Amino acid sequence: MEVPHQLLLALSFVAFAIIHLVQAQPDQQGFISLDCGLPPNESPYTDPLTGLIFSSDADFILNGLRGEAGDDRRQYKDLRYFPDGIRNCYNLKVEQDINYLIRAGFSYGNYDGLNVYPKFDLHIGPNMWTAVDLETENDREIIYMSKSNLLQICLVKTGQTIPMISTLEVRPLGNDSYTTRFGPLDLIYRRHYSSNSSGTIRYPDDVFDRKWDNYNEFETEVNTTLSVRSSSPFQVPEAVSTSGISPENATKPLRFLLSLEDDSDRVNVYFHFAEIQSLSSNDTREFDIELEDHIVQSAYSPTMLQSDTKYNLSPQKCSFGLCYLDLVRTSRSTLPPLINAIEAFKVVEFPYAETNPNDVAAMKDIQAIYGLSMISWQGDPCAPELLKWEDIKCSYTNKSTPPRIISLDLSSRGLKGVIAPAFQNLTELRKLDLSNNSFTGGVPAFLASMKSLSIINLNWNDLTGPLPNVFHNREKNGLKLTAQGNPKLCADASCKKNNQNYVVAIVASVASVFIIVAVLILILVFRKKRATQVQQELPSTRPSIFTQTKRFTYSEVIALTDNFERVLGEGGFGVVYHGSLNGTQPVAVKLLSPSSVQGYKEFKAEVELLLRVHHVNLVSLVGYCDEESHLALLYEYAPNGDLKQHLSGERGGSPLKWSSRLKIVIETAQGLEYLHTGSKPPMIHRDVKTTNILLDEHFQAKLADFGLSRSFPIGGETHVSTAIVGTPGYLDPEYYRTNRLNEKSDVYSFGIVILEIITSRPVIQQTREKPHIAAWVGHMLTKGDFENVVDPRLNREYEPTSVWKALEIAMSCVNPSSEKRPNMSQVTNELKQCLTSENSRQGGRQDMDSRSSVEMSVSFNTEVTPNAR
């Protein structure tokens, strides 16, 4: 079939146009363009003004929340902010030893309604790049040579405001242009001179995507319509080079002023020139380039229609923080100086060396293998020391020497599987703690080959098989390996023959083994003696639990939790595991951690309280374990988690209805009322909060966690003086201020719980005008803004009088004066009236004016957020 001539001509034209368009577009290879906070389902997109392809940042950051600034510019419409953690870092893959232009963009836009501009620091790896104050600046840019294949840009919280970012861009530069051997170059300004240019020149005109701001110096403008070549490594855009300025007075120097924040700052200035005027045969343009009193270039003449760049080779200090940049005409020049553009940079000192890259790679592998997600595990593991990762220790020689990881503590992290070979890549590791996890398989021989490793703790895992002989050989070199609580692990190959299990304990020398055996014999003799001489026993430093009711051995705890297979949660006491009695009755097992901020005193208090109090709305104690260093509590299992999880949406599903929320807090109130009035002696819980309100299979509330509970006096005395404990936000400010504890302290905490079920908002949220929930609700009600107090997920499906009455109760509970708070019996009765009102609701909602029948007096002023001690 013959193709018509006209069609061939049209196809050729289209092909030519496409080829021309492709050739005209610069390559974006190596570009990283992140629109921070962009929803992943809207990623990627092509910016219509620049042709740059922007992607969501979701795959490059572990934390942060999305916000919207309302900015008309596409990349600044969305943002990401970081209310949690001190340091939050973007992880970007780059090439090592390459200069990169890094640009961070910000548009606050009052996204949080606080109208307070954030202040925070930006770090690159372990080093501070710059302090950001969004009231005075928007974008920050730096030229930095990468030290490894991982580039980490970190936002670091330094005060009360929350760090945020709109856009993050990384562009590779040639190493033959900008000089970074004295330190990274923090951009002060980049200007080109033209009155005809509109806006900023950037990609695709600039292949490196530098942003050139147009600036008018009120001098004589020079421009050309001819093409200007750029053969230098700086590749100044033609749109920049085709215009420039000369001094208005041709006999005087062309002067520019550079203002610095600090007198000690050092600068590098890049002057860009191209001769763009037609010169006659007898014309000469020649001038000296001066930076302060330093001659950058003498008797310089720009090249005709070709861009060229001159700069000071060494960073320059300026007097009193003011730098004078002068282009001074020489005596034989017939024409005044001419310049197209200037870039000015501050040279930044990055004193800290990054952690040894092999250690970093090993930690990243360990993190990925076991799914570890600690918020502090961002940025450089060791540097700066104040921001190092939790659970590791590092050795520091000096700032310029890469730190090494020497200790790693991953105890009680719920880790499963075999001990991965990645650990052996931490070649300077001296101590490794993997205890209280669920590791399986054998003890790998590579641990013994780690020359620096001297302490290994493998206690309480599910390791199996004989211990490799290489560990016995390491005894001579000081290795200490402990592996108690691994019933399937034995000391040597003999366990295969006699089928006996051994607890492995390899210590520094044979002598230490004999010492341990001797101590064990003494303990056995002592215990036997104690059994026959109970009446003569001296008081112990650790008081015993006298009752033997519902007591389990530690081996029974291991069995009923299937060797601590399933983790339910973690608190100040330790890790909570799922267990099963007789394979049928589920239980929650709370195991005391050796590093617990609480201890035996709290453990004993909780056991003794739960053994003597019984109420349908208090969690029931199934049993306990008190065996030497092993302490555990066995509770009835609450399959629906805690109230906090449902209010925050963490457990998914539909939000709790208002009637369900009321029922839960009434049941909790009944449990507290029983502690205050039905228990003998009366008890104060001291840690009432939504995470301690558990929900069983029928969503019945169970108040839990009695480790901080205290009895309180009845009769003449009204309070106890005690050390302050509790959770910030829930802690009674009067108790915090006076150390005087009474049952009204629980009432205050319970009032906070009521406010949570009404609002579903965090107890403390720094982005609010009033960070504490009680102060915020009081502020909103003072303004008459009832609607925005109530959780919008309720969709107004509630009786307004019921909610208003609950608010009244909550605000009376959180009165700063304990004398003005109701007792728990009054609170319980009032809440039941709220539920009755809600249950009587028929058809549509009543008019909001019904709240006028409820008299409410809110007197709210003072300190509502004491910190727990």
**Residues noted as catalytic:** 687
Residues making up the binding site: 590
Distance CA(796)–CA(408), nearest Å, equals 51
Residue 561, token pair as written in the block: 């939790």
Q: What are the backbone angles phi and psi of residue 754, rounded to the nearest 5°?
A: -60, -40
CB contact set of 691 (below 8 Å; sequence gap of 6+): 642, 643, 644
Q: Which residues are within 8 A (CB) of 294 and not within 5 positions of it... i.e. 6 or more apart?
A: 312, 316
Contact 323, 292 (CB under 8 A): yes
Residue type, 240: V
Rg (C-alpha) for the chain, rounded Å, is 35
What distance in Å separates the CA atoms of residue 773 and residue 154, rounded to the nearest whole number?
30
Contact criterion met (CB below 8 Å) for 772 and 864: yes
What residues are designated binding site for ATP? 590
Burial grade of 249 (CB within 10 A; 0-12, 13-18, 19 or more): exposed
β-strand partners of 701: 695
Structure tokens at 558: 């291991």
What does the alpha-carbon distance between residue 516 and residue 79 come to, in Å, rounded to a whole number?
A: 60
Q: Report CA dihedral (193, 197, 202, 203) to the nearest 10 degrees.
A: -140
- Phi/psi-derived region of residue 51, left when phi > 0, alpha when psi is between -120 and 50, beta in every other case: left
**Residue 147: closest CA among 118, 117, 183:** 183
Element (H, E) at 24: helix 5-24
Buried b (16+ CB within 10 A) or exposed e, 161-194: bbbbbbbbbbbbbeeebbbbeebbbbbbebbbbb
- Helices 824-839 and 800-813 sit at what angle, rounded to 10 degrees? 170
The amino acid at residue 638 is: A
For residues 190 and 572, give the distance between their C-alpha atoms in angstroms, rounded to a whole number. Answer: 53
Angle CA 360–365–369, to nearest 5 = 150
Looking at the DSSP bridge assignments, the partners of residue 326 are 255, 290
Q: Report the DSSP pairing between strands 431-433 and 404-409.
A: parallel
Cα separation, 558 vs 166, whole angstroms: 50
Rounded Cα–Cα distance for residues 751 and 774 (Å):
9
DSSP 281-305: TT--B-EEEEETTEEEEEEE-PPBT
How many Å apart are CA 306 and CA 231, to the nearest integer? 8
Local structure of 748: helix, strand or coil: helix
Amino acid at 256: F
**Residue 167, beta-bridge partner list:** 35, 105
Could you give the CA distance from residue 299 to residue 288 in angstroms, rounded to a whole number? 5
Helix (H, G, I), strand (E, B) or coil at 168: strand
Q: Which residues contact 703 (CB under 8 A, 6 or more apart)?
A: 617, 618, 619, 668, 671, 672, 685, 688, 692, 693, 694
Helix H or strand E encompassing 702: strand 701-703
CA distance 678 to 665: 18
Angle at 772 between CA 768 and CA 776, to 5 degrees: 60
Question: Which 8-state DSSP code applies to residue 777?
Answer: H
